[in-house]
Amino acid sequence: MKIVIAPDSFKGSLTAIEVSDAIDAGIKSAVSTASTVKVPMADGGEGTVECLVNATGGKILKEKVVGPLGDEVEASYGILGDETTAVIEMAAASGLPLVPEEKRNPMITTTYGTGQLIKAALDHGCRKIIIGIGGSATNDGGAGMAQALGVKFTDDKGEEIGFGGAELKRIAKIDTTNLDKRIYTTEILVASDVKNPLCGPNGASAVYGPQKGATPQMVKELDEALAHFAEIIKRDLGKDVKDIPGAGAAGGLGAGLIAFLNAKLRPGIELVMESVGFEDIVKDASLVITGEGKIDRQTIYGKVPVGVAKVSKKYNIPVLAVAAVLEEEPEFFKSYGIDFVFEISPRMDMDAPKEEKFARIKKNIEKWILDVFLNENK
């Protein structure tokens, strides 16, 4: 019996690799003859670099870059096993966790460091770059990212603008003459499930600005600044990014990546599964076990369990999902390809040491697997 183990991380608790190891240990304790294949997953957010590097035998590199507040931070990115594909989490360089809560202000935060990570990947010789854009601290439309790669934004006096979302309203001209030429021969894929346009009531500023520290007045100013930015992009680059679904992702970084790097936005879980060759791994499996920390109605919108189930069902493979917390009746997920959902530890202390959480998951998985197999053999 081949069992494929493909969970997401349990956010704030265990990484996808640690969850996979716990599930594997539980299976081996319950059914010693089972053959397991661990494929830790991610959906483009936290853990994507680790997931893809681990699955392809790649490596993680570190780079000193400009953080969201303009200070220096150390950010990691991955090189996959093929040595020509890089994977970047923009949050590593421009993410909200890098900004203390009392200093959060999307009027001044920048994606410059994300651009530096892209440049580092190009310097390494990569000609395919996967970028996960969740967890941003920014609202600059990707202008900082573009600046790091050579794009100039000047005001009506010919002076270059500074960092941050508020600076976008000063832009009078965009000059891409010095944009890193390697971009033109590089495939840029953006892992994002966000469908928000750049501007308006469902745009980057209105929907995500407040969690980054924006007041109602800031939201209004930032939205106007992004709208102005979109107009200049359309005039100078001939690209209309304002209403593209996903352009508002990561404070408009989605729009910037499309406008300046010709990036393609893809559902994160699809990109990850494609990169690790998940379909080839799973097609001859007898069982697939997936999961994430919380399984609820949001799970059906591009999350790992449903993405894994969709591919598994192409081969009529039963899919079981595990969660630390389940907030929906298991029957709800059957129409999305998940045959059974199991709540491992609804009262798990998320602040407990990882060893304790690992042991709890292993113990409950073992009990669950035993129950599953005992029921099958009745």
Looking at the fold, whether 214 and 98 belong to one and the same domain comes out as: yes
User: Which tokens sit at 45?
Assistant: 């957010």
Write out the residue range of the structural domain in which residue 18 sits. 2-40+286-376
Boundary (domain end) residue, out of 233, 268, 303: 268
Q: What is the pLDDT of residues 33-67, one digit of tens each?
A: 889 999 999 988 888 999 999 999 999 999 999 99
Is position 280 within any domain?
no
Measured CA to CA, the distance from residue 20 to residue 36 in angstroms comes to 10
- For 27, phi then psi, to 5°, come to -65, -45
Q: How far is CA 42 from the centre of its chain?
A: 7
For 234, other C-beta atoms within 10 Å of its C-beta total 14
The model scores a pTM over 0.85: yes
Residues 356, 362: Cα–Cα separation, whole Å: 10
Q: Final residue of a domain: which of 234, 268, 302?
A: 268
Which pLDDT score is estimated for 22?
85
Question: What's the pLDDT at 373?
Answer: 55
The CATH number of the domain where 28 resides is what? 3.40.50.10350
For residues 72 and 37, the answer to whether their CB atoms sit within 8 Å is: no
95 and 234 housed in the same domain: yes
**What integer pLDDT is reported at residue 40 of this predicted model?**
95
- Per-residue pLDDT tens digits for 65-103: 999 999 999 999 999 999 999 999 999 999 999 999 999
The CA-atom distances, in angstroms, between 335 and each of 233, 319, 340 are: 43, 12, 11
Helices (runs of H) and strands (runs of E) counted in the chain: 12, 13
pLDDT of residue 377: 47
What is the spatial distance between Cα 344 and Cα 102, in angstroms, rounded to a whole number?
36
Residue 273 lies in a domain: no
Same domain, 92 and 25: no
Q: Determine, yes or no, domain membership for 26.
A: yes
| 106 residue type, one letter | P
- The answer as to whether 119 is a domain residue is yes
> Residue 166: its pLDDT value, please?
97
Beta bridge partners of 36: 3
Check: CB of residue 247 under 8 Å from CB of residue 208: no
8 A C-beta contact, residue 124 and residue 59: no
Q: If 0-12 CB within 10 Å is exposed, 13-18 middle and 19+ buried, where does residue 70 land?
A: middle
CA distance 338 to 314: 13
Could you give the residue ranges of the DSSP H alpha helices within 124-267? 143-148, 204-208, 216-237, 249-261
Please indicate, yes or no, whether residues 172 and 100 belong to a single structural domain of this protein. Answer: yes
Contact 88, 129 (CB under 8 A): yes
Query: Are residues 205 and 340 located together in one domain of the fold?
Result: no
- Is 274 part of any domain? no
Q: Are residues 301 and 153 both part of a single domain?
A: no
Q: Which residues of the chain have pLDDT under 70?
A: 345-351, 369-378
Q: Indicate whether 65 and 176 sit together in one domain.
A: yes
Domain presence at residue 74: yes
Residue 32, Cβ density class (10 Å: 0-12 exposed, 13-18 middle, ≥19 buried): exposed
Query: Residue 219, CB half-sphere, CA atoms under 13 Å: how many?
Result: 17
- Secondary structure element (H or E) that encloses residue 187, with its range: strand 187-191
Residue 256 token pair: 């910037």
Contact 19, 361 (CB under 8 A): yes
Closest to 92 (Cα-Cα) out of 71, 123, 68: 68
At 10, which amino acid appears?
F
The total number of structural domains that make up the chain: 2
Say whether both 6 and 56 belong to one domain.
Answer: no
Could you give the CA distance from residue 326 to residue 333 in angstroms, rounded to a whole number? 11
Pick from 202, 237, 268: which residue ends a domain?
268
What was the pLDDT predicted at 348?
Answer: 56
Are residues 112 and 198 both part of a single domain?
A: yes
Domain membership of residue 56 (yes or no) is yes
Q: Note whether 29 and 177 are same-domain residues.
A: no
| Residue 67 shares a structural domain with residue 180 | yes
Is residue 298 located within the same domain as residue 225? no
What is the structure's pLDDT at 378? 44
Instruction: Name the helix (H) or strand (E) containing 59.
Output: strand 59-66
**In what helix (H) or strand (E) does residue 367 lie, and over which residues does it extend?**
helix 354-376
Q: What's 223's domain CATH number?
A: 3.90.1510.10
> In angstroms, rounded to a whole number, what is the distance separating the alpha carbons of residues 59 and 54?
8
C-alpha to C-alpha distance for 231 and 221, rounded to whole angstroms = 15
Write down the H helix ranges in 13-111: 16-30, 48-56, 90-94
- Residue 134: per-residue pLDDT: 87
| Bridge pairing between strands 287-295 and 2-7 | parallel
Q: Is residue 277 part of a domain?
A: no
